[in-house]
Amino acid sequence: MTRRFALMVAVLALVAAAFGQQALPKAESILDRYIEVTGGKAIYEMRKNEMSVAKLEMPAQGIKGTMTAFAAAPDKVYTTMELEGVGKIEAGVSNGIAWEKSFMTGPRLREGSEKVDSMRDATFNSPLLWRKLYKKVETVGAETVNGDECYKIELTPPEGAVETAWYSKKSGLIVKRARVAKSPMGEIPVEFITLDYREFNGLLMPTKVVQKAAGAEFMITLESVRVNEKFGADRFEPPAEIKALLDKPKAEPKQ
C-alpha cells in the first residue's frame, strides 16, 4: 500500500507542477498591465519628448555627479553626465547613429550588437511599443525581489541578447531588469533595481534606480521630468568629433 501511495504522490506532484505553470499569467498581459498602472495608453501617446535631470552617486568610490537626458520620438536620445573629479560623458542616438564620447574612450561610434541595444534603448515610450521591440515575450517563473513577489519575464529582441524583467504581482510595476550589455570591455552583466515610483505629468516613473555592473554600484535619483519641450533643431546632433568619424572612410576588409 505504501508503494502505491508513493506512486500516486509522484503523479500528483506532476499534476501540481503542471497547474503551477498554468497559473502563471501570460507575459503579454503583464506588459499591458504595466502600461495601464503607469498611466495608460493615452498618457504615453501625448508625450512627444522628455527632458529629465538626475543625481548620480557611486557610494563605494565616493563619486557624485549629475545626469541630464533628452529624448524624443521616435528614437532620439542625448545624455550627458558630469562626474565630480572625473569628467564628462556624452552619448546619443539619432538618425540611425549611436555614439559615445568620454574621458575613457574618446569619441567613438557604437557598432554591432552594442548599436542594436542602443537603438532599442532609445525608443521613445518603449513600454507602449514592446510588441515592436521584442519578437518573443514569456513568463518563465515567479520570484521574490526585495520582499516583493514578482513574475519573471524573458524578452527576446529580434537582435541581441535576451533581457529579463521582474514585475510586481501586487502593483504591476517593474521591480528589476537584467541584461548583458556590450561594451569596449566586452560583455558586462547589468542589473537595474527600480524603486520609489512617483507621478510625473501623469506617468508613474521610478525615482531611484540602483545599477550594478562590473563590480560597481550606481545610484540614480530622478529629480525632475519635463515633457513636450521645444528643443532646438540641433539638440540631438552628434558633436564634431563624432561627425568626423562618420566622414572617415571605413577600412577595407582584409583579404
Rounded to whole angstroms, the Cα distance separating 131 from 154 reads: 13
Give the pairing type, strands 63-72 and 49-58: antiparallel
3-state secondary structure (DSSP) of residue 176: strand
Find the DSSP H helices in 64-221: 112-121, 130-133
Q: Is residue 199 part of a domain?
A: yes
pLDDT at 255: 46
Q: Is residue 5 part of a domain?
A: no
The residues facing 177 across adjacent strands are 165, 192
Q: Is residue 2 part of a domain?
A: no
DSSP character at residue 255: -
pLDDT at 22: 54
Q: 207: domain range?
A: 25-244
Sign of CA dihedral 192, 137, 111, 253: positive
Number of domains forming the structure of the chain: 1
Dmax over Cα atoms in the chain, in whole Å?
A: 82
What are the φ and ψ backbone dihedral angles of 134, each rounded to 5 degrees?
-130, 135
pLDDT at 182: 78
- Residue recorded with cell 507602449: 128
Torsion-angle region of 40 (φ positive above 0: left; ψ -120 to 50: alpha; else: beta): left
pLDDT at 132: 96
Q: Are 48 and 57 in contact (CB under 8 A)?
A: no
Cβ-count burial of 180 within 10 angstroms (0-12 exposed, 13-18 middle, 19+ buried)? Answer: middle
Q: What is the CATH number of the domain that holds 41?
A: 2.50.20.10
Q: Are 206 and 222 in contact (CB under 8 A)?
A: yes
Rounded to whole angstroms, the Cα distance separating 168 from 195 reads: 12
> Tell me, what amino acid is at 208?
K
Q: What is the pTM of this model?
A: 0.86
pLDDT at 99: 97
pLDDT at 98: 97
DSSP character at residue 159: S
Of 205, 155, 195, the closest CA to residue 179 belongs to 155
pLDDT at 48: 96
Q: Is residue 202 part of a domain?
A: yes
What are the φ and ψ backbone dihedral angles of 98, each rounded to 5 degrees?
-120, 130
Give the CB-side neighbour count of residue 239, counting CA atoms within 13 A: 16
The residues facing 144 across adjacent strands are 149
Q: Is residue 175 part of a domain?
A: yes
Torsion-angle region of 236 (φ positive above 0: left; ψ -120 to 50: alpha; else: beta): alpha
Question: Residue 229 is placed in which grid cell?
Answer: 519641450
Of 109, 106, 113, the closest CA to residue 245 belongs to 109
Q: Are 30 and 150 in contact (CB under 8 A)?
A: no
Q: Is residue 255 part of a domain?
A: no
Q: Is residue 20 part of a domain?
A: no
Question: Residue 3 is placed in which grid cell?
Answer: 508503494
pLDDT at 104: 83
pLDDT at 243: 94
Series of mean pLDDT values for 10-residue runs along the chain (255 residues) = 47 48 86 98 97 94 94 97 91 96 91 93 97 97 96 95 96 97 82 97 96 90 96 92 85 48
